[in-house]
Copies of this chain bind each other. A is one copy, B any other.
Amino acid sequence: MSESEIADVDAYMHAMGERARGASRVLARATTAQKNRALLAMASALDEARDALETANRRDLEAGRDNGLAEALLDRLALTPARIDTMIEGLRQVAALSDPVGEIRDMRYLPSGLQVGKMRVALGVVGIVYESRPNVTVDAASLCLKSGNATILRGGSEAIHSNRAIAACIRQGLRVAELDDACVQVVATTDRAAVGALIAMPEFVDVIVPRGGKGLIERISRDARVPVIKHLDGICHVYVDQAADPAKAVAIADNAKTQRYSPCNAMETLLVHAEAAPFVLPELADIYRRKGVEMRACERTRAWIADAIAVTEEDWHSEYLAPIVAIRVVDTLEEAITHINTYGSHHTDAIVTENLTDARRFLTEVDSSSVMVNASTRFADGFEYGLGAEIGISTDKLHARGPVGLEGLTSEKYIVYGDGHVRS
């Protein structure tokens, strides 16, 4: 359906939801082989459609330039040959992952003679709302398909032609595997009302995964009538313990801040034990200065870094996503943990220490979705964790925490075997 034909967006989304629900019932019982066949056929279809993809993408880029889109956004939007390669490779990797659907655990006999256990099942229909990167279309579709979920994808309006061209390849892959087109649907209108409709159809959509800026995610979390898998902020900490190896501490605090500034798992606040400060802060300050990182520090830190500017309470709450770091000296491990649990965003926090007891305590008491020992917070993602891919990162407490891969797109139901059992 082309955009001009979509007069009634609510009716259009309703029909899409109904088709997705129907397809999800079939997909939930599709064999692993059939799902993999579809994924590999999508990869081939993308490979064969390179010209069409680049033509469609050129239309988006031209429109973007005409509309004065920022250079960074145009860069995200671009479907270069290398990015098409990455999408194709991603599909092949997801095909190679083991299928979580149908896993049975903890089957056991109970005193009644009943045998009870849990079976892993698809969630049903997943709605994905994302911004400019067209590669999300393929990443999200492939993870949802492999985990047995039907998907409705709603990308950014600036990528509409690219997304439609990718959608055509996805449909071709589904057809090769004899799966219903409605297993993966791409919203064909740029009308913003489509998002509002998508997130308010609990009868057809089981979960929404928003991917994009904080504004988008806040809006969706507020208005959604179905559960949302998300994270809002990545206020990540590195704590350099009294028992830290100074070389590891410097390397990790440098990497966590400067390897890239914009990812949500980059460090924003550095906490340093008072006894470690002299062995770590001067050297780190040199590195940060050289790399142009602005340092905002507490009074005690400034004894070691004279040129740091005074930190404010607001800094502890800030996700800079920029070459800025907040630094605080603490007297105890407990003070560091309290700081993280108070100001952090439950995303990713790391301790640098050689002390076993301090490491165990930090792992247990820091209430974040990823807690690390002697590693850079930048490792918090699905690829690095061996999930094969990720659909997003969750900082919520229920369901999945941290990078969400195939398992996070499933849940478990109880299965029970009896032999004519009745309750007395």
Q: Are A416 and B370 closer than 8 Å at their CB atoms?
A: yes
Which residues of A, 364-386, contact B by the 8 Å Cβ criterion?
364-365, 367-376, 378-380, 384-386
Q: Are A401 and B397 closer than 8 Å at their CB atoms?
A: no
Q: Say yes or no for A421: interface residue by CB 8 A criterion.
A: yes
Q: Which residue of B lies closest to A110 (CB)?
A: B386
Binary contact track A329-366/B, C-beta < 8 Å → 1, others 0: 00000000000010000000010100000000001110
Separation of A251 and B423 alpha carbons in the complex (Å)? 10
Q: Are B414 and A403 closer than 8 Å at their CB atoms?
A: yes
Q: Are B413 and A376 closer than 8 Å at their CB atoms?
A: no
Q: Are B29 and A255 closer than 8 Å at their CB atoms?
A: no
Give the contact stretch, choosing among A11-19, A39-47, A111-119, A179-187.
A111-119
Binary contact track A387-424/B, C-beta < 8 Å → 1, others 0: 00000000011110111000000011111111111111
Asked whether A417 and B112 contact (CB < 8 A) given A398-B398, A401-B411, A422-B252, the answer is no
Q: Say yes or no for A317: interface residue by CB 8 A criterion.
A: no
Q: Are B415 and A371 closer than 8 Å at their CB atoms?
A: yes
Q: Are B251 and A420 closer than 8 Å at their CB atoms?
A: yes
Q: Are A365 and B403 closer than 8 Å at their CB atoms?
A: no
Asked whether A423 and B367 contact (CB < 8 A) given A397-B411, A416-B373, the answer is no
Asked whether A123 and B370 contact (CB < 8 A) given A108-B386, A247-B420, the answer is no
What residues of chain B lie closer than 8 Å to A136, measured between beta carbons? none
Asked whether A371 and B420 contact (CB < 8 A) given A124-B397, A398-B398, the answer is no
Which residues of A, 184-223, contact B by the 8 Å Cβ criterion?
206-207
Q: Say yes or no for A28: interface residue by CB 8 A criterion.
A: yes
Q: Say yes or no for A292: interface residue by CB 8 A criterion.
A: no
Q: Are B363 and A415 closer than 8 Å at their CB atoms?
A: yes
Residue in B369, B372, B414 whose beta carbon sits within 8 Å of that of A369 in the complex: B414
Q: How far is the CB of A13 from chain B (nearest CB, A)?
A: 20
Q: Say yes or no for A81: interface residue by CB 8 A criterion.
A: no
Copies in the complex: 2
What residues of chain B lie closer than 8 Å to A379, measured between beta carbons? 112, 114, 416, 418, 421, 423
Q: Are B28 and A365 closer than 8 Å at their CB atoms?
A: yes
Q: Say yes or no for A121: interface residue by CB 8 A criterion.
A: yes
Q: How far is the CB of A168 from chain B (nearest CB, A)?
A: 30
What residues of chain B lie closer than 8 Å to A369, measured between beta carbons? 413-414
Asked whether A422 and B370 contact (CB < 8 A) given A110-B385, A364-B29, the answer is no
Q: Are B402 and A413 closer than 8 Å at their CB atoms?
A: yes
Separation of A270 and B47 alpha carbons in the complex (Å)? 52
Q: Are A28 and B367 closer than 8 Å at their CB atoms?
A: yes
Q: Say yes or no for A93: interface residue by CB 8 A criterion.
A: no
Q: Say yes or no for A259: interface residue by CB 8 A criterion.
A: yes
Binary contact track A234-257/B, C-beta < 8 Å → 1, others 0: 000000000001011001101110
Q: Say yes or no for A25: interface residue by CB 8 A criterion.
A: yes
Q: Which residue of B lies closest to A116 (CB)?
A: B385
What residues of chain B lie closer than 8 Å to A385, measured between beta carbons? 110, 116, 414, 416
Separation of A201 and B121 alpha carbons in the complex (Å)? 32
Binding site for B on A (CB under 8 A): 25, 28-29, 102, 108, 110, 112, 114, 116, 119, 121, 123-124, 206-207, 227, 245, 247-248, 251-252, 254-256, 259, 341, 350, 352, 363-365, 367-376, 378-380, 384-386, 396-399, 401-403, 411-424
Of the A-B pairs whose beta carbons lie under 8 Å apart in the complex, a sample of 16, sorted by A's number, is A25-B367, A102-B364, A108-B386, A114-B375, A206-B397, A207-B398, A252-B421, A259-B424, A350-B416, A370-B416, A371-B415, A374-B418, A376-B421, A379-B421, A398-B411, A401-B411
